[in-house]
Structure 1
Amino acid sequence: MGTKINKLRQQTPPNGILLTSWLEKSGFSRSEISQYMKSEWLQRISTGVYQFTGDTPSLYGILASYQKQADLKYHIGAASALELKGFSHYIAMGKPTAVVFSPIRPPLPKWLNDAELDMNLAEVSSKVIGDTGIEQMDYLGQTLTVSSPERAIMECILLSPSRYDLTDVYYLMEMLTSLRASLVQQLLEGSSSVKVKRMFLYMAEKARHRWFARLDLSRISLGSGTRSFAKGGVKVNAYDIVIPKELADKK
C-alpha cells in the first residue's frame, strides 16, 4: 500500500487535489482511500475531493486538477490570463481575484466559492467572443487553460466598466505590442459584441500598435448606432462610442 500511495504522491503537485472518481479509475478502492485518510496520507476537503496531508492546494492548481481528472471545461481569462502571461501594470490590494470563464452547464464546483484559497473566484459565462484564442500553458507543474493575450484583452473590455476600469484596460493594451494580427482578425470577425469590437479597435489604434495596420477592417462588422461606456463621457466619432474623459485624455 505504501508503494502505491508514494507513487501517487510523486505524481501529484502540492497545489492540486485528488477526486474520488479519478482515484477509482486509477485503481484505488473506496476502502483504500478510507485507509489513507486514517493513516493521514489524505485529507477530505469536500465531498469526493481530497488533498495530500500538508499540501496547500491553490485555485489554479485545483482547476488544473479538475480539468485533468474530470475533464472540466473552463478557461482563465481577462486580466487574470494576461497576468499569467506576464502582463500586469499594478499590484492588486488584498486577495487577488481570478476571472474564470466556464459553460453554464456544468458550472464550476460550488465548494470553490466557499473554500479558503489563495485567490477569490469570479466565474463568468459568456459566448460573445466564441471559442477562438484559448490556449494551454504550464503553471507550477500543472496545465492550465487560458485565454491568449489577443482574446484576454477583449474579455477585459467585455467586463468593463463593471469589473475593470477602462483606463486600466488601456494600460494593458499599451503593453500588447506583439499581438498576432491574424488571431486578432479572427477574434474580431467571430465576436458578436459590437461594443467590444469598437473599443478594441479604438484602443489598438490609440496605442499605435504596428499590428493594427495589418487588420482588414472591411471584414469586421461594427454594427450601427452609438455604444456608450460612460455616462456624460466623450464621443469618439470614428468608432461611434462614448468613453470616459480620463481615457479620451490619455496620450
Structure 2
Amino acid sequence: MLNTEARQRLQKVLPLDMVATKSWLEAQGLNLHFLDNAVRNRTLIPLVSGVYARQEARLSWKSIAASLQRMSEAPVHIGGLTALELEGLGHYLSKGNKPSVQLYCDVALPRWLGRIASPAQFEWHGTRRLWPETLMQDDKYLRQDNWQASCDPLHYSCPEKAILELLAGVPNSISFEHADQLMQGLHNLSPRKLDTLLRACCSIKAKRLFLWLAERHQHAWLKHLRPDQYALGNGKRLLAKGGKLEPTWQITVPKEM
C-alpha cells in the first residue's frame, strides 16, 4: 500500500500527462522507497530508466517539453521554427512522420529525452554563441502555450526572438529559401523588442541575415531599427557557397535571391 500523503504529493508534483525523473521526484520530497513501491504497483510507469509518468498518462511532445522545462536548472525554451509554428507563422507544416521540435539551451539536453517514446524528434541548439545568459532568463521574450489546464505551461520564444534563432541555423538547419518565406510573413514584429534583441544577439551572421531579409521585404518596422548600434562585426561572411556578395550587409547569399 502507498502512503496516502505521499500519493497526494505525487499527484501534485507530477500532473497526469507530464513526466519526471527519479532524482527530480526525490528532490520534491518523495523518498526512494515510496517511488519503488509506486513502480511495483504501476502507479508510476517507467518510460526509460529513471524516467516516469503516471498510469494512464497521454504523452505529447508538449507534455514532454514542458516537463523538461520545469526540471531543467538551465533555461530551455522552444524556439526557432517550432516557436514560429506555435504562433501560426510557420508558412507550411513540418514534413515527415515525426515533427521536429527545436529546443534552445546553453547546456546539452539530458540523454533520456532522445530515448523516450515521443511523437516528435527533439533537436538541441546551443545558445552560448547566440544569446547572453541574462536574455535566456528574461521572460519578456517568451510566450506561453497553456496546452493543458492542470499542467505547467510550455514556454517558447516570441516571434522576434524565434526568427533570429532560426536565422542562426541558415543554411545548415534551414534553407535560405525557407527563411525568406518565413520572413515575408513577419509584418507585425515589435521594433522595440527587435532593437533589444539585435543589441543582445551574439550571432553576427543571424543579425546581418535578418537585416538583409527585412530590407528585401521592406517591412514597415525596419525604419525603426538602428543597424549601426548592433555590433555587426567586420569583413565579409560566406553564408552561401558559390553565391553572390550582398554589398550592404557583406554576406554571400544564393545568386537566385
Q: Which residue of 1 is the match for residue 128 of structure 2?
A: 127
Residue of structure 1 equivalent to 2:218: 208
Q: 1:191 to 1:114 in 2, by over 3 A?
A: same
Between the two proteins, the alignment pairs up a number of residues equal to 245
Cα offset for 1:211? Answer: 0.8
AA matched with 1:99: Q
Which amino acid in the other structure matches residue 129 of structure 2?
V
- Paired residue for 2:235, among 221, 225, 231? 225
Identity over aligned residues, as a percent? 29
In structure 1, the partner of 2:30 is: 28
Question: 1:212, CA displacement in angstroms?
Answer: 0.5
Shift of the 29–12 alpha-carbon distance from structure 1 to 2, 3 Å rule, reads: closer
* Structure 1 gap ranges (5+): none
Residue of structure 2 aligned with 1:140, choices 147, 152, 158:
147
Shift of 1:92: 1.8
CA contact (8 A) 2:100 2:121 kept: yes
Aligned to 2:246: 236
Q: 1:243 to 1:41 in 2, by over 3 A?
A: same
Matches within 5 A, 1:1-251: 1=2, 4=5, 5=7, 8-9=10-11, 12-94=14-96, 95-104=98-107, 107-131=108-132, 132=135, 134-141=141-148, 142-246=152-256, 248=257
> What are the Cα deviations for residues 45-74 of structure 1, in whole angstroms up to 9, with x where unaligned?
233321012213233322322332453531
Amino acid in the other structure paired with 1:78: G
**C-alpha distance in 2, partners of 1:115/1:49?**
9
Q: What is the DSSP-based 3-state SS (H/G/I as helix, E as strand, rest coil) of the residue aligned with 1:189? A: helix
1:13 deviates by 4.2
- What's the secondary structure of 1:245's corresponding residue? coil
Q: Distance in 1 between the 2:122 and 2:21 partners?
A: 20
- Deviation digits for residues 129-188 of structure 1 (CA, Å, limit 9, x no counterpart): 324364141341332232221111111111010010111111111121111111211221
Per the normalisation by structure 2, the TM-score is 0.84
1:2 shift after superposition: 7.8
What is the Cα-based RMSD across aligned positions, in Å?
Answer: 2.3
Separation in structure 1 between the aligned mates of residue 178 and residue 109 of structure 2, nearest angstrom: 28
* Alpha-carbon separation, structure 2, partners of 1:81 and 1:91: 13
CA-to-partner distance for each residue in 1:228-250, whole Å, 9 max, x for gaps? Answer: 2212223321222221134x2xx
Q: Give 5+ residue unaligned stretches, structure 2.
A: none
Instruction: Tell me, in whole angstroms, the C-alpha distance in 1 between the residues paired with 2:227 and 2:36.
Output: 61
1:69–1:78 Cα change, 3 Å: closer
2:242 counterpart letter in structure 1 = G
Contact 2:62 2:147 in 1 (8 A): no
Q: 1:224 to 1:25 in 2, by over 3 A?
A: closer
Is the Cα contact below 8 Å between 1:14 and 1:57 reproduced in 2?
no
Contact residue 129 and residue 187 of structure 1 kept, 8 A: no
- Displacement after TM superposition at 1:20 (Å): 2.6
d(CA) in 1 for partners of 2:178, 2:69: 31
Distance 1:232 1:196 in 2: 20
What residue identity is the alignment partner of 2:56? G
Q: Cα distance 1:7–1:138, how it changes in 2: closer, same or farther (>3 A)?
A: farther
1:122 is aligned with what amino acid?
A: E
Structure-2 separation of matches of 1:70 and 1:91: 29
